[in-house]
Amino acid sequence: MNVALTGATGFIGSHVLEELHKHGHEVTALVRDDAQADIVATRGATPTVIDLYDRPAVVSALRTADGAIHTASPGDATSADLDSAVVDAAINAFAGTGKPYLHISGVWIYGTNPAISEKSPFNPPAMVAWRQPIERRVLDATDMRGVVITSSVAYGDGGGGIPGLLLGSPRDDAGNLIMLGTGQQHWSTVHVADLADFFRRVVEHDSARGYYVIGNGVNSTVAELTEAAAVAAGAPAAVPGSDEEARARLGEYFADVLLLDQSTTAAKARTELDWAPSHPGLVDEFRHGSYRN
């Protein structure tokens, strides 16, 4: 297949590009400038320099593809506008074709929940409350195979914003890392290569539709993760913080999503698409893998 991909130079998108290319798919990477075009070209993609807000241009690019994956995100207040623009273009380009459009989301939209599944009610904190109405448009589009992949915290290969946040945690007077909150909340996580593998499976299976919650099933506590991050960062240990300290450090919106207590087993992905995460968990990655030193 020829798959149009946004965010191909990002942490998740670059791994999706690698996974698709490895399995024989052609990738057209929609990038914002020549520098990004050069990067994706060296990785086997055909670059198209484009403004993702230019709907006619994006529609034209998508119509020549067999499917599309959207992973690009500015990670700021304009994220909703970008997602909305890309979704509108995909609906215009793909409606009536049955082509797949894969849209990335995150498990934060479910709020605190110890057993998240695709049937769980949405309870998003303010930071991600904009997501669900846009995702609904994806799934309601006529004759387009819309799929929303709600990813857990992605890690691996020494990258990812949230692992980096833990490694850069402030320290107390003894040099110990300070946890986000008390550390008793669980986080659902997934290795970025396993996540990319799932994106590829969705592209290849015409039966894949709707929401898919993706996590490796480990669901470590923030205390366990920060203690492991201390090993990678060369800190003596990690100590509990408080919700107030987390909000003062990160701002209320960002702290609220990181203080959520969440777990998932990704049963639908495992059952329907035979997905089986194979990479070490984030605790092991911190202690023994790609984040050391």
The secondary structure of the chain as a DSSP string is -EEEEESTTSHHHHHHHHHHHHTT-EEEEEESSHHHHHHHHHTT-EEEE--TT-HHHHHHHHHTSSEEEE-----STTHHHHHHHHHHHHHHHHTTTT-EEEEEEEGGGG-SEEEE-TTSPP---GGGTTHHHHHHHHHHSTT-EEEEEEE-EEEBTTB-HHHHHHHT--B-TTSPEEPSTTS-SB--EEEHHHHHHHHHHHHH-TT--EEEEE--S---BHHHHHHHHHHHHT-S-EE---HHHHHHHH-HHHHHHHT--EEE--HHHHHHH-----SPPHHHHHHHSTT--
pLDDT at 177: 98
- Are 191 and 250 in contact by the 8 Å Cβ rule? The answer is no
DSSP state of 186: B
pLDDT at 189: 98
Q: Give mean pLDDT in consecutive 10-residue pieces for the chain, a chain of 293 residues.
A: 98 98 98 98 98 98 98 95 98 96 98 98 98 98 95 98 98 98 98 98 98 98 98 98 98 98 98 98 98 83
pLDDT at 293: 66
**Which residue has 């890309």 as its token pair?**
86
pLDDT at 292: 87
177: tokens are 């890392």
Summary count for the chain: helices (H), strands (E) = 12, 13
Exposed/middle/buried for 56, CB within 10 Å: 0-12, 13-18, 19+? exposed
pLDDT at 142: 85
pLDDT at 186: 98
Selection from 176, 179, 197, 158 nearest residue 277 by Cα: 197
- Are 45 and 13 in contact by the 8 Å Cβ rule? The answer is no
pLDDT at 141: 95
Considering only the C-alpha atoms of the chain, give the largest distance between any 2 of them, rounded to a whole number of Å: 62
pLDDT at 154: 98
User: How many CA atoms does the CB half-sphere of 216 hold within 13 Å?
Assistant: 24
pLDDT at 70: 98
